[in-house]
Amino acid sequence: MSAITPRLAKPNAYRQSLFKTYSFKSLALAVAVVMPLTVASSSFVQAKEPSIYSHMATAQPVWAKHGMVSSQEALATQAGVEILKQGGNAVDAAVAVGFSLAVTLPRAGNIGGGGFMLVHLAKPNKTIAIDYREMAPSAAHRDIFIGEDGEPVKKLSREHGLAVGVPGTVMGMELALEKYGTMTMKQVTQAAIDMAQNGIAVTPDLQASLSGLKRRIAQWPSSAEIFYKADGTNYQTGEILKQPELAHSLSLIAKYGSKGFYQGETAEKIVAAIDAAGGNMTLADLKNYKVVEREPVVGEYRGYQVVSMPPPSSGGIHIIEMLNMLETYPIDELGHNTAATLHLMTEAMKRAYADRSEYLGDPDFYDVPVKALISKDYAKQLAKQIAIDKATPSSEIKPGKIAPYESNQTTHYSVVDKWGNAVSNTYTLNFSYGSGLVAKGTGILLNNEMDDFSAKPGTPNGYGLVGGEANAVEAHKRPLSSMSPTIVMQDGKPYIITGSPGGSRIITTTMQIIMNVIDHNLNIAEATNAPRIHHQWLPDLLRVEHTLNRDTQSLLKAKGHEVKVNNAIGSTQSIMVTEQGIFGASDPRRAGSQTLGY
C-alpha cells in the first residue's frame, strides 16, 4: 500500500497574505515563515512516504507482520493478541480487550458504561459505526439535575444514583461479536474471567489512581470492599487484587450473552444499587436497551478518507470540520508545531467547538445537520474568518450559519488483523471509576454518563463544555459525546487506526495524530509523542502541553492567545498499516499502555 497521495494546491491568497503579515516583521521570523512559501509549486504536490524505521526518526514504532493490538493496559493488549494468534479476527480481539479492560483498567474499562466502535471489514469493503452509548432511564427528564435555585446540582449528575445511564457496553460487544466476529462469547471473555477470579498484580498506575480517588470510591461500601483492604488501607504496587464478584458477572455474560447482564440476577442487583443510591432506573430500562448501527461520517483530507463516529458522538463531525478548514492552508510548509501552524489549528478548533455547542445531540431526538457541518464550502466560509496573525476572541465567535464532556478517564484501543479488518473502539464510565458506585454483589462499576447531558442548556458542565437544547436531558436519549474512534483510509484500505481518551480533548488529539502523519510525515510513534494543544471555544484558553517549546508559546501569546500550560493531553493508541508491515504506538503519557503484534 503506497503512502504517496496527491495533496491540494496551496492557495495563492493565503500565500500573499502571509507575505503582507510577515514581511515587516523581524528577519528571523520572515525567514522562518515566509521563505518556505516562496518555493514554486505545481497544482499538485506529493506527500512523502512517512519514515518508519529510521535513524532520523525521534521515536520508533512497534512492528508486526500479521496483526496488532494497541491499548492502554498491557494485560488487555496481550489478551487481544492471544485471540488473534488463535485465529480470531479484529472484532474477536477487540471484544476480548474490552472485557479484559473492565478487570485491569477499572477506572475506564467497563461493562457498566458505554461507548462507540468503528469496525472496518475488508470483505466486503465497508465500515460500520456501532453506537453502544448509554441511554437515559425512562424516568429521566429535563430538570432532573436542577436544584431549587434553578441551577444544576453537581452531585446529582456525578455521585448519585441519578447519574447512572443505562449501560451499553455488554450489548455493544455482543452485537459486534455476533455480526462481525468469528468466536464465541465464552472464548473472548475467558481471559477477563480468569484475571478477575485469580487476581491481577496492582500496577503503580492502578495503585496511584485508587489512592488518589479514595474519597469518591470509598463513600460506597460496596466499592470500598473491592478496591481497598479489609482494614481500609490501600493496595500497594505488586499486591494481588481479586474481583470474584466481577468474575461471576462475566461468567453469566459468557454463558447467556447480554441477557446475563440486562436480565436476571445481575440486572436486579444493578437496579437495587441504583435505587438505594437515589436513582430511578428500572428493570425495564435495562431490558429495553438497544444498540444502534449507524453510518459513519466520512470526509477527505488531502486525498485520504477520514472515517469516524457520527452523532451522538460529536467527534467525527468536528474532526472533519477542522481538517476541512485547515486543508485550505499549506500546513506542511508552515512546519510541525510552529506558532504559525498552531495558531491556525487553534482558530479552527474554536469555530468547530462553537458549532458543537449549538448543533450536536442524539440524532434519534434531534436533526443534526451533519452534511452542512462537514461540507468543504462551509469550512471555506469559516476559514475566511481566521486572521493570519491575530487570535479571534471566543466572545466574537458564534455557532456558524449553516445550510458536555467525558473525563480524562475514557480509554481507547485499536486492533488490526491479518485479513485487513480493523477496529477502533473508545468507551468509558465518564469520570474515573464512573460514579464510584459498584452494584453490590456484581463487581460492576456504574457510570455517571448522565453528566454528559446539558443539565441546563447554555451552562458549562463539569469540564467547561457548553451544550445546547439538542443535548438537554430526555428519557431514552443518549448524551452527546466527544469519543472519536477514527480510521483513516488510503485507497479504500485502513491506513491509520486511532483514537484517544481525554474528554473534549479527544477530538483535537485525534485530529493532531492525523495531521502529524499526513501533513508532517511523522511515523506513528513520532506522531504519538509530539506535544499537543487544545482549544474548545469556551473557556477562551489555549491549553498546551508543558513540552511545547517556550519560544513557540511566546509567539502564540503575541498573537493574542491566552496560553495555559497543562500536563498530558490525551492517550492515543494508534496503528498504521503500510506495505512494510503493521506499525503501532501506545501513548507514553499513560503508564502501562502497550502495543503488541505478532
User: What are the sequence ranges of the domains in the chain?
Assistant: 6-63+294-405+483-586, 65-292+407-471
pLDDT digits (tens, 9 = 90+) for 283-330: 999 999 999 999 999 999 999 999 999 999 999 999 999 999 999 999
Cα dihedral across residues 73, 74, 79, 82: positive or negative: positive
Q: What is the largest CA-CA distance in the chain?
A: 74
State the residue for C-alpha cell 448509554: 134
Cα separation of 458 and 373, whole Å?
20
CATH architecture of the domain 6-63+294-405+483-586 equals: Orthogonal Bundle (1.10)
- pLDDT-wise least confident of 75-84, 334-343, 397-406: 397-406
pTM across the whole model: 0.91
Amino acid in position 250? L
Phi and psi dihedrals of 125, rounded to 5? -75, 90
**Residue 138 three-state SS:** coil
In the 8-state DSSP scheme, what is residue 39? S
Of 340, 328, 326, whose CA–CA distance to 21 is shortest? 340
Quote the distance between the C-alpha of residue 269 and its chain's center.
Answer: 30
- For 244-253, how does the pLDDT look when each residue is reduced to its tens digit (9 = 90+)? 999 999 999 9
Task: Tell me the DSSP string of 244-286.
Answer: HHHHHHHHHHHHHTTHHHHSHHHHHHHHHHHHHTT----HHHH
- pLDDT band for position 336 (cuts 50, 70, 90): very high
Could you tell me how many residues make up the chain? 598
Mean model confidence pLDDT for the chain: 90
Mean pLDDT value of segment 185-209: 98
Question: Three-state SS for 134?
Answer: coil
Which of these is catalytic: 410, 428, 442, 528?
410
HSE (CB half, 13 Å, CA atoms) of 375?
12
Which single residue is written with the C-alpha cell 525521534? Answer: 58
Active-site annotation holds for 509:
no
Contact 455, 473 (CB under 8 A): yes
**100 or 462, greater pLDDT:** 100
Reading phi first (left if > 0) and then psi (alpha if -120 to 50, else beta), residue 291 is in beta
Alpha carbon separation from 375 to 6, 305, 308, 366 (Å, rounded): 20, 14, 15, 19
Strand partners, 578: 581
571 CB burial (10 A radius; 0-12, 13-18, 19+): buried
The rounded distance, in Å, linking the Cα atoms of 586 and 528 is 7
Burial class (CB in 10 A: 0-12, 13-18, 19+), 20: exposed
- C-alpha grid cell for residue 343? 495558531
CA-CA-CA-CA dihedral for 249, 254, 260, 262, to nearest 10: 90
Q: In the prediction, which pLDDT does 470 show?
A: 85
C-alpha 478/C-alpha 475 separation (Å) is 9
Q: What is the pLDDT of residue 373?
A: 97
DSSP assignment of 152-193 equals: B-HHHHHSSGGGPPBP-HHHHHHHHHHHH--S-HHHHHHHHH
Q: pLDDT class for 357, splitting at 50, 70, 90? A: confident
Which residue reads 482494614 in cell numbers?
A: 231
